[in-house]
Structure 1
């Protein structure tokens, strides 16, 4: 097991045949004040993109699952009708699971967007503080 702080490498899949080069960012530096983690701005942008992309992939899967949920029997005999019914039930459950995953991914992306908003606010406050003339120093 590697020593030191783990590094989040956006877009990097160590199990992939095509190993994409990491694009930067740090993974979950522990926060001294209490529970939680902090991320740098580049990592937050990558996390928003990755969660949003994953939601898009689930939406594509949802389109395909609809075909399963609306399957029609190939023939008029009992076996075909029963098989189609079971297939439709399976497709419906698949669609429900995919919708839950889409909602989860979109929620995670929103959390990281909110964190980015905190970065923007902090940066703006820092710019104002720096621009103020110093008081009491001569």
Structure 2
């Protein structure tokens, strides 16, 4: 597989796979808000963002399970070099576990923010539906 030219950029809805290449997943982020800073997202995009953040948190959790092996490393022998190497490996595993825990918390926080946005989206939809339903029926 050829490496794309230019700097790597994150493209939502695209998954990189070493054996197959790039395959689109079908989503795209919203358009910039005209009134000021920020973005607008449709409901499908919000669902996609929640899924992407939750999936990333799951990947970090798998990595966390592996990092715990490092944090519990045993020395192969009882001499100083083996003990010192095991201590350094354990410290590295602990630091990695701490970093992964922070990343998991961040991903889950981001997913929760999009879930909150989905709730606001649903509330706005319900309000709009009730306003439309209160309009007189038929042709004037």
TM-score, length-normalised on structure 2?
0.82
Residue 121 of structure 1 is matched in structure 2 by 123
2:12 & 2:90 partners in 1: Cα distance?
40
- Give the whole-Å Cα distance in 2 for the aligned partners of 1:27 and 1:54: 17
- The Cα RMSD (Å) is 1.9
Selected match of 1:77 from 76, 79, 93: 79
Q: Does the aligned pair in 1 maintain the 2:15–2:25 contact within 8 Å?
A: no
Unpaired runs of at least 5, structure 1? 1-7
Cα distance, 1:28–1:102 mapped onto 2, change above 3 Å: same
- For the pair 1:20 / 2:30, whether they are aligned, the reply is no
Deviation of 1:9 (Å): 4.4
Given candidates 52, 57, 80, the residue that maps to 1:50 is 52
Equivalent position SS for 2:34: coil
Q: 1:103 aligns with which of 102, 105, 109?
A: 105
Structure 2 contact 15–24 (Cα < 8 Å) conserved: no
How far 1:21 sits from its partner (Å)? 3.0
Alignment gaps of 5+ in structure 2: 1-10
Distance across 1 between alignment mates of 2:74 and 2:16: 42
SS in 1 for 2:15: coil
Alignment of 1:112 with 2:114, yes or no, is yes
Aligned to 2:41: 39
CA distance in 2, matches of 1:15, 1:21: 11
Q: 1:15: how far off? A: 7.5
CA distance in 2, matches of 1:114, 1:41: 12
